Amino acid sequence: MANTLPISINYHKPKLVVPSSVTPHETKRLSEIDDQGFIRFQIPILMFYKYNSSMKGKDPARIIEDGLSKTLVFYHPLAGRLIEGPNKKLMVNCNGEGVLFIEGDANIELEKLGESIKPPCPYLDLLLHNVPGSDGIIGSPLLLIQVTRFTCGGFAVGFRVSHTMMDGYGFKMFLNALSELIQGASTPSILPVWQRHLLSARSSPCITCSHHEFDEEIESKIAWESMEDKLIQESFFFGNEEMEVIKNQIPPNYGCTKFELLMAFLWKCRTIALDLHPEEIVRLTYVINIRGKKSLNIELPIGYYGNAFVTPVVVSKAGLLCSNPVTYAVELIKKVKDHINEEYIKSVIDLTVIKGRPELTKSWNFLVSDNRYIGFDEFDFGWGNPIFGGISKATSFISFGVSVKNDKGEKGVLIAISLPPLAMKKLQDIYNMTFRVIIPRI
C-alpha cells in the first residue's frame, strides 16, 4: 500500500437529494437475481478529478447535486427505499425520499495523495463518510454520494450504491445519464427500463442444474472466517508486459481470453500463497454478464439496469491446482463457462426462491469481477475524465479488476486482493518472482 498522509475533511451537513419533478409513487418488485443474499451490500466507488481552469469558479458539489436531482426523475426507484414483502421478498417503495448527498472540504492538494487514490484506497472512509443509519439495506438510502473538494481545485466523487438495485453495467447507465444531463441534455441517451420480471422465478420453480457456488463446506468456511478480521489488502498490476509473461506459460495460439488467463493465474498463485492441504477443495467464482448474449435466449432491453449476471463456480483440489500448469485452471474455467445456458440461468433464479436466497460459499472461494469495461475512469461531469475511477477496495474473498495506468502511462488492470498477512507476503513474492524481468532493481 502507498504511504498515506494524514488528511482531514470538514463535512457539511448531509442532505437528501430528491427528483427535480414529481415521480410515480408505487411499489416495484426486484428480480430474483437482484434478490440474492450475497448482493445485499453497498459498493464503494471513487472518482478523482484534477482542477480544470475552464471550470474556474464552478462548484462541483452544486453541479453534481443539480445533475443528480434531474437524473433521479428517470431513475426514480433509486430515490425510494427497500422493503421486505412476504418471504422476505425485496421490493422498492418508490416514495421519492431521495438519495443521500454529502459535501466536504479536504485540507490537502489532490496530487499529494499520489498512488494512494488507487485500490485499496486508505482514505475510503473519509471520502465516503458513513452517515449513521445509512449503510443498511432495508429502509436506508439506496445511493450515497460525497463530493470532496481539495485545496488545489480538484475533487473526488464517492458513490456508495446498493448492489440490490443494479450491477456495474446498470450503474454505468446511471452515471452516463448523470454526465449527459449535467452537460445539457434534456433526457438520457439510453432511457432506463425496469422490467425485473424478466429475471424472476418460473411459476413452478425447479432446480435443474448443479450450483456449486452455493455449496456449504463447514470446516473450511470456519477456517476462512476465523481469519477474516486479520485480512490485509494489496493491489497487483497487470499490463501488457505482465500478460505476456503469463501467456508464455501456455501453448502458442491457445484459445482463451486474457481475463480467463489472468483469473486462472491469480487463482493458482493465491492458492499456493494460502498453503492449503492438497486435498482441500478450492473454488473460483466466475461472474458472467447475461446481457446481449443471444445464445442464452434471454432478451433484456438495452436500458435494463438491474442485476444481470450469474456466478458459476470452478472447483478443484488445491494440490491439483497448484501442481499443474496454468492451463489446468483455464480449462476448468472454460468448461464451466461453456455450460452456462438459458436453463442454467433459470435454475439459478428458481434456486434463489426455493433455498431462501443462499449466500455464495466462502469455502476457500475467490471471486474476481472484471469492471474495466464499465469505464469508471471515463465519466465526465465537466472537468474531463477522472485520473482514477473504480471500485476502491476488495471485500473478503471478492476482488474487482479496475482499469488504471502505471507510472509509464500504460493502461492495465489493477486487482486488490484480501489475504492474511503471511499469505499476502507469499503472494507478493510469487508476483515479484514471476515478473522479475520487468521489475527495476532498487
Active site residues: 163, 380
Strands (E), 241-377: 281-286, 288-289, 309-310, 313-317, 365-370
Cβ(42)–Cβ(161) below 8 Å: yes
DSSP letters for 213-246: GG---HHHHHHHHHHGGG-EEEEEEE-HHHHHHH
Give the SS3 label for residue 398.
strand
CA 138 vs. chain centroid, Å, equals: 20
3-state helix, strand, coil in the chain (%, to 5): 35, 25, 40
Using CA atoms, how far residue 432 sits from 311, 322, 407, 413, in Å, is: 30, 18, 17, 17
Buried b / exposed e over 353-364, threshold 16 CB at 10 Å, is beeebbebbbbb
Q: d(Cα 427, Cα 65) in Å, to the nearest integer?
A: 42
Using CA atoms, how far residue 208 sits from 17, 30, 200, 205, 289, in Å, is: 44, 23, 16, 10, 20
Q: Which H or E element spans position 251?
A: none
List CB contacts of 136: < 8 A, sequence separation 6 or more. none
What grid cell was written down for 166? 443494479
Which amino acid would we find at residue 419?
L
Q: d(Cα 166, Cα 177) in Å, to the nearest integer?
A: 15
Q: d(Cα 46, Cα 389) in Å, to the nearest integer?
A: 6
> Of the candidates 300, 273, 292, 281, which has an alpha carbon nearest to the alpha carbon of residue 425?
273
